[in-house]
Amino acid sequence: MTPIIVVIIVVVLIGIVVAGIYNNMVTLRNRIDNAWQNIDTQLQRRFDLIPNLVETVRGYASHEKTTLDAVTRARNAAVSAGSPEDKMAADNVLTGALRQLFAVAEAYPDLKANQNFIQLQGSLEDTENKVSYARQSYNDCVLSYNNAIQTFPGNIFAGVFQFRERKGFEAEESSRDVPHVKF
């Protein structure tokens, strides 16, 4: 009778360990999804601000059509992107276009003094900070999740339960470049 009890206890303990590892992986995966939703929320706020900003700049710098069109195209591409990876790539393009727009704005003292532009710029800057924080949070969640599914014994169960590695948010190399404006 004692060997049967020992076997049952061992099986129950193994079941508890497997359930704990599985539940941890699910929790970490859900944190990633939640962190992505937070990024999405901030990006939507950013997308909503951009048309107002473009219209304000257009009033002062109408001959900067190329820059304004680039921002509008980048915004539309980011809004219509489907997967998180596509959204990340489109967001990097939009960030570059916005940098170019603000570089153009520097050349127009009246625009820089316009109260509406100042308010929109401040709102966009606040949103950019929130997007940056949300990206950092997302990457932290991805790191924790990937560590859990790549280290022992999680890697064994990750394969069995179909947990796949996630990619973190990476900035494009071009996003580090300083925009150049020529008149």
The proportion of the chain whose per-residue pLDDT surpasses 90, expressed as a percent, equals 63
- Rounded mean pLDDT of 73-93? 91
| Residues 14-167, CATH architecture | Up-down Bundle (1.20)
- Rounded mean pLDDT of 98-121? 87
pTM of structure: 0.80
Q: Does residue 179 register a pLDDT over 80?
A: no
Q: What's the rounded Cα separation, in Å, for the pair 154 and 150?
A: 6
- pLDDT-derived band at 182 (thresholds 50, 70, 90) equals very low
HEC assignment per residue over 49-116: HHHHHHHHHHHHCCCCHHHHHHHHHHHHHHHHCCCHHHHHHHHHHHHHHHHHHHHHHCCCHHHHHCHH
Whole-number mean pLDDT of the chain? Answer: 89
Nearest to 121 by CA among 135, 101, 107, 136: 101
Q: Does residue 63 register a pLDDT over 90?
A: no
pLDDT digits 0-9 by tens, 136-151:
999 999 999 999 999 9
Residue 93 φ/ψ, nearest 5 degrees? -65, -45
Q: Does residue 169 register a pLDDT over 60?
A: yes
